C-alpha cells in the first residue's frame, strides 16, 4: 500500500512538473541590461533609472552594462546573439535600429527580425535651434533665407550619420533648400557654435535644449513631433511650420534576443507594464522631458519597420556613409 502511495505521489509530481512553465522561477539571478552608449549620456542615465524600477518589479537585480561603439550597434549585436533565456536584454534607443545600419552599411543584425521586442518605454522629441543673432525666427524664414543665400546656411550634428544629422537631411530633402552639414564630436560643441552663430542651426533633444531656450542662448523654431511639446507650448511643430510630412520622434525600448521563451517574455511584459504605471517612474520620465509610451511588441516592431524604411531612403538620397 505504501508503495502504491509513493508511486502515485511520484506521478503527481511528474505531472505537475510537466504542466508548470519551463522558466517558472525566472528571474533567479541578475539580469544584464545592455546600453550601446558611454556612461553619462541621456540613453545611459535613463537606462539606469529604468533598471532601478525594473529591479523592483522583477525582484531581481538588473545591472546596466555599457557596450559603446558603432553608433550603438555593438550592444544590439550582443543582445541579438545572447542566449534566449532573458538574462541579457537591451535598453535600445531608436537610432541603432532604424538609422545606424544604413549609415554604417552594417549586416551585424537585421532589426526587423533578429530580436524579440518586449515593448516601448518612452518617446523623445527634437527641437530645431538657431542662435539668438540668427536672422530668422521661423522654419519658413530659415528655408527662404537658405534659398536666397545658397552657401550661407550650415547645420551642426553630433557626427556624420547621427540622428540629428539625419533630421536635418530630412529637412533639406523636404524643403529643397541648400544647407551644409558640419559634423562635430558630440552635441555639446555643436551647441556652442549655434549659440555663437558660427553655424546656423542644429536639432537637439528637447530635454537638453530647454535650458538654452529659456536662458535666451538659443531660439527654438520648431519641434519635430506631431503635436507641440508641453514644455515649449509656444513653439510650433514642423508640420505647423509648413512641412506637412515632417515628424521625427525618437524612442527607447526593451528588447530581447530572438526566440525568447513565451513565459519569460510574458514576465518581462508584465514587469515593463508595472514600471510604466509606477507614478514615481512616470514623474522621473516627465521631469527628464520624455513622454511615456506603452506600445506593445507589435506596435514596436511596426515602428521599427516603418522608420527603418524612412531613414534608409534619407541616407540613400543624401549619400551618407561613415565607411
pLDDT tens profile 2-56: 555 544 554 544 444 444 455 668 999 999 999 988 888 788 889 999 999 999 9
Instruction: Pick the closest to residue 255 from 92, 50, 59 (CA basis).
Output: 92
Task: Indicate the CATH number for domain 125-223.
Answer: 3.40.190.10
Per the listing, cell 551647441 goes with 191
From residue 9, alpha-carbon distances to 14, 16, 17, 91, 269 in Å are: 9, 11, 12, 45, 35
Torsions phi, psi for 26 (to 5 deg): -65, 135
Asked, colleague to colleague, whether 25-123+250-318 and 125-223 share their fold, the answer is yes
Q: Which CATH class is domain 25-123+250-318?
A: alpha beta
Question: Is residue 69 within 8 Å of residue 37, measured between CB atoms?
Answer: no
For residue 213, pLDDT over 70 is answered with yes
Question: Is residue 91 within 8 Å of residue 47, measured between CB atoms?
Answer: yes
Terminal-residue alpha carbon distance, the chain: 77
Q: How many residues does the chain have?
A: 323
In the numeric block, which cell numbers belong to residue 174? Answer: 523636404
pLDDT band at 253 (very low <50, low <70, confident <90, very high): very high
Q: pTM for this structure? A: 0.81
Domain ranges across the chain: 25-123+250-318, 125-223
Per-residue pLDDT at 14 = 44
Q: Are strands 291-292 and 88-93 parallel, antiparallel or unpaired?
A: unpaired
For residue 204, pLDDT over 80 is answered with yes
Question: Is residue 43 within 8 Å of residue 124, measured between CB atoms?
Answer: no
Please tell me whether the peptide bond between 196 and the residue prior to it is cis, using omega within 30 degrees of 0.
no
Amino acid at each position: 500500500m505504501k508503495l502504491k502511495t509513493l508511486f502515485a505521489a511520484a506521478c503527481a509530481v511528474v505531472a505537475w512538473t510537466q504542466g508548470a512553465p519551463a522558466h517558472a522561477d525566472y528571474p533567479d539571478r541578475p539580469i544584464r541590461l545592455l546600453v550601446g552608449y558611454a556612461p553619462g549620456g541621456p540613453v545611459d542615465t535613463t537606462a539606469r533609472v529604468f533598471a532601478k524600477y525594473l529591479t523592483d518589479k522583477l525582484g531581481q537585480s538588473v545591472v546596466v552594462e555599457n557596450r559603446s561603439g558603432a553608433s550603438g550597434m555593438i550592444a544590439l549585436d550582443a543582445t541579438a546573439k545572447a542566449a534566449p533565456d532573458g538574462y541579457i536584454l537591451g535598453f535600445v534607443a531608436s537610432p541603432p535600429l532604424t538609422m545606424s545600419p544604413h549609415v554604417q552599411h552594417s549586416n551585424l543584425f537585421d532589426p526587423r527580425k533578429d530580436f524579440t521586442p518586449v515593448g516601448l518605454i518612452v518617446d523623445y522629441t527634437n527641437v530645431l535651434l538657431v542662435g539668438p543673432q540668427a536672422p530668422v525666427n521661423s522654419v519658413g524664414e530659415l528655408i527662404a533665407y537658405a534659398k536666397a543665400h545658397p552657401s550661407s546656411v550650415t547645420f551642426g550634428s553630433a557626427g556624420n550619420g547621427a540622428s540629428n544629422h539625419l533630421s536635418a537631411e530630412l529637412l533639406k530633402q523636404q524643403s529643397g533648400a541648400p544647407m551644409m552639414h558640419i559634423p562635430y564630436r558630440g552635441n555639446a560643441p555643436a551647441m556652442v557654435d549655434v549659440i555663437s552663430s558660427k553655424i546656423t542651426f542644429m536639432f537637439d533633444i528637447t530635454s537638453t535644449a530647454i535650458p538654452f531656450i529659456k536662458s535666451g542662448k538659443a531660439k527654438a523654431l520648431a519641434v519635430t513631433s506631431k503635436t507641440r511639446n508641453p514644455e515649449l507650448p509656444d513653439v510650433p511643430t514642423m508640420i505647423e511650420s509648413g512641412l506637412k510630412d515632417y515628424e521625427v520622434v525618437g524612442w527607447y525600448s526593451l528588447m530581447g534576443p530572438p526566440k525568447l521563451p513565451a513565459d519569460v517574455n510574458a514576465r518581462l511584459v508584465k514587469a515593463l507594464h508595472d514600471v510604466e504605471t509606477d507614478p514615481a517612474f512616470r514623474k522621473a520620465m516627465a521631469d527628464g522631458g520624455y513622454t511615456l509610451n506603452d506600445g506593445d511588441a507589435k506596435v514596436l516592431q511596426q515602428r521599427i519597420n516603418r522608420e527603418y524604411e524612412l531613414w534608409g531612403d534619407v541616407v540613400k538620397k543624401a549619400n551618407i556613409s561613415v565607411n
